[in-house]
Chain A
Amino acid sequence: MSRLVTTPLDSYELRHFAVEVPCFVCAGGNRHDAERCRHCYAPLALTYQTADQRAGKPHMLAVLGPPDAGKTSYLGMLCESLSRQCESSHAVSRGAFSVALQQQVMARLAGQQFPAPTAEDAESWHWNHLQIADSNRRRVRELIFPDMSGAVMERELDHQTSPSTRAFLKKCTGAIVLLDTQRIERGDPTPDFFAMKVLSYFGEFGTKRSVSWLRKPIAFVFTKADCSQACFDAPRRYAETHVPGVFRQAVSSLKRFDFFAASVAGATINLEIDGAPISLALRVEPRGIREPMVWMLKQLG
């Protein structure tokens, strides 16, 4: 004999599926249980974290450079430097995903290796969400920046095929453009041209205050500067003579910019073993890692 049972329909549980969660980075809609945005692949944790934070709206920062410019090493060491030291400012990672990059880079450096190139697949990029407090903890600022693939950025500059990358760059409030000093010293003009392309790309965003890069701060950082003491001594003068294209473009079109020199390794050796190129970090001696970020935070107010 059958028995009639009344089962309540928990329809309120379905409302999550009806309401889309907008990605903090690209504003694209997502299911509530998604881990990454289906449009730009940024972690949706960023959206939830920024929704309940007290420190004000986070600044998004673009860290750009051609492939093998040292973005991952620089960013990993920057996170390490900001989280381990308590001089002028101290950073706390928001979310475990923000520690992953730092962990990966430090593990590789401990074995005298540099991190592997960042995959072009945006889903595997590391995103960092840092809460940075100044020394007396009176002021707390939040920064979000991804470790983007140089190859993807290069393609975007040339062909402009990625709306999500474009959307992200439009939302950024500042940028760090990396210039590979080793390549510059070899006479390779790629870093100069890449940075010039970035500035031209930014110039196409228009003059509307929210998107215009005229007034947004841009830090040009010479990475791997351990190979040139002249670069460390006077980065601006070095830029004037070694990357004249981007230097002139910056002087003529930007309001807030500066040049910095940084290195993670004290010395590097490049080998070719059985046809495979290998770079070894002969020692880990971070120099000039924090300065661009300190300058950037000052510019962001």
Chain B
Amino acid sequence: MRLLWRRATDATAQPYLMDGMSSRPASTENAVDLPNDYRRLVDEMIRSHRSSLLLRPRLAQDLEPTALRAAIDRFRSDACLVSAGRVRLNRWQVRAAANFELIDSTDCVEVDAVFLERLTITNRQFQAFVDQGGYQKKSLWRAAVWSSVREFVDRTGTLGPRFWSAGRHDTSEANHPVVGVSWFEAEAYSRWIGMRLPTDAEWVRTACSPIETDNAITQRKYTWGDTFLSQRANLWNSGIGRTIPADANAEGDSVDGARQMIGNVWEWTSSNLQLWNGRAPIELAEPMKSLRGGAFDSYLDTRATCQCRSADNPLARRHNIGFRCAVSACDIIDTSDRVDELPAMQGTSEGTR
């Protein structure tokens, strides 16, 4: 156990761990050495949706078997594994004669195996990040944006998502996707839980589950097939007109088990928007980050397919943009076979989902 916290001072792990232990600083001098504290801390990290962090190889090797089992159990219920393979991505081609069109590119992108969260991050999950001082933790933020973090405030001027009040979410929407967060806030949260934002290619591969036959790739238009069904995704045509809980619409799950890839909220990805004029990339006046999936107020269901994308300024804090996190399979321990050999942890919370 002492070893765990000694390693926590390691440069790579420190940014993540310090927040989880805000009440007890992580240092070898103040090492947590009581079994109860240890269990409480691991339990707290799992409840705070940070099990991915515990499964980093350097931390997982020092976890007690029961704690490791709990972390793996939780992680496997939270994230789905998307195997390595190829995916076809469209590119935006702008022609000089003021004629804009989306061209189906035949370029294929190789994607490594990745774990993608089954659900988008909810208000309740993001609340833990706010409560544990995520906005004050410099190591979670990009240096370039750190000075602007104080501007990421809610309706009352308190640090937090734009549509919250006094640093708290609306309790009636605890299970709804968190919205009103900029790309930088999404990135900081992802880092806090030991994950990252998915790339465009990872997101599309998860959503459309490509099938490769005879060197050709067949991709679904929507996660469930090629025809839009309003009861499977919360878009404008569904007539709901607002966000719904992140775990609703199970019928619309992707093949790998990711929910609401289509509809409810747009999702930030880590990729930049790139437009092309012929073969030449167009330089944008301001950088834009790619968005995927469509939202509850997306009017055209043909523009909210697995392949379609939008984009926005990374500082934008919109009412319909949320995110889900990802982690490369190679960045965490192999969770596939080990769990059955491990003993269960007593009293582990069900988490904050």
Contact = CB atoms under 8 A, between A and B. Distances in A.
Nearest to B288: A269
A269 B284 contact: yes
Interface in A258-289: 266-267, 269-271, 273-274, 276, 278, 280, 282-287
A14 B298 CA distance: 55
B94 interface: yes
B100 A284 contact: no
Contacts of A271: 94, 275, 282, 284
B295 interface: yes
A109 B298 CA distance: 12
A50 interface: no
B98 interface: yes
A276 B303 contact: no
Interface string A102-117: 0000000111110000
Contact of A284 (B101, B277, B299): B299
A283 B310 contact: yes
Given A112-B102, A278-B100, A267 B312 contact: yes
B1 interface: no
B320 A112 contact: no
A276 B318 contact: no
A229 interface: yes
A266 B302 CA distance: 16
B90 to A, nearest CB: 12
A282 B297 contact: no
B312 A111 contact: no
A59 B32 CA distance: 76
Contacts of B317: 229
A267 B298 CA distance: 12
B144 interface: no
A270 B302 CA distance: 23
Interface residues of A, number: 22
B94 A110 contact: no
Interface centre among B298, B299, B316 (most CB of A within 10 A): B299
Contact of A278 (B94, B284, B302, B303): B94
A298 B114 CA distance: 55
Contact of B277 (A266, A273, A280): A273
Contact of A112 (B100, B266, B277, B284): B100
B94 to A, nearest CB: 6
B62 to A, nearest CB: 46
B299 A280 contact: no
B3 interface: no
Contacts of B266: 283
Contacts of B236: 285
A301 to B, nearest CB: 28
Contacts of A270: 285
A283 B303 CA distance: 8
Contact of B300 (A113, A273, A284): A284
Contacts of A111: 100-101
Interface centre among A274, A280, A282, A283 (most CB of B within 10 A): A283
Contacts of A278: 94, 98, 100
A285 B100 contact: no
B94 A273 contact: yes
Nearest to A275: B96
Contacts of A112: 100, 102, 303
Interface in B275-332: 275, 277, 282, 284-285, 288, 291, 294-295, 297-300, 302-303, 310-312, 316-318, 320
Given A111-B101, A282-B310, A276 B300 contact: no
B161 to A, nearest CB: 13
B162 interface: yes
B300 A269 contact: no
B303 A110 contact: yes
B320 A266 contact: yes
B301 to A, nearest CB: 11
Contacts of A266: 295, 297-298, 310, 318, 320
A110 B300 contact: yes
Contacts of B312: 267, 282
A229 B162 contact: yes
Interface centre among A109, A229, A270 (most CB of B within 10 A): A229
Nearest to B313: A267
A267 B295 contact: no
A297 to B, nearest CB: 21
A282 B303 CA distance: 10
B96 A285 contact: no
Nearest to B297: A285
Contacts of A286: 297, 299
Contacts of A273: 94-96, 98, 277, 282
Contacts of B94: 271, 273, 278, 280
B310 A274 contact: no
A272 to B, nearest CB: 9
Interface string B259-285: 000000010000001010100001011
A285 B316 contact: no
A113 B275 CA distance: 15
Nearest to A112: B100
A285 B317 CA distance: 15
Contact of B297 (A274, A280, A287): A287
Contacts of A283: 266, 291, 294, 298, 303, 310
18 contacts: A109-B299, A110-B302, A110-B303, A266-B318, A267-B311, A267-B312, A269-B273, A270-B285, A274-B96, A276-B96, A276-B97, A278-B94, A278-B98, A282-B311, A282-B312, A285-B297, A286-B299, A287-B297
Q: 9 closest pairs, A vs B, by CB?
A: A283-B310, A274-B96, A284-B299, A282-B310, A285-B297, A267-B312, A284-B300, A273-B96, A276-B98
Given A109-B299, A273-B98, A273-B277, 11 more contacts: A266-B297, A266-B298, A266-B318, A271-B275, A273-B94, A273-B95, A273-B282, A280-B94, A283-B294, A284-B298, A286-B299
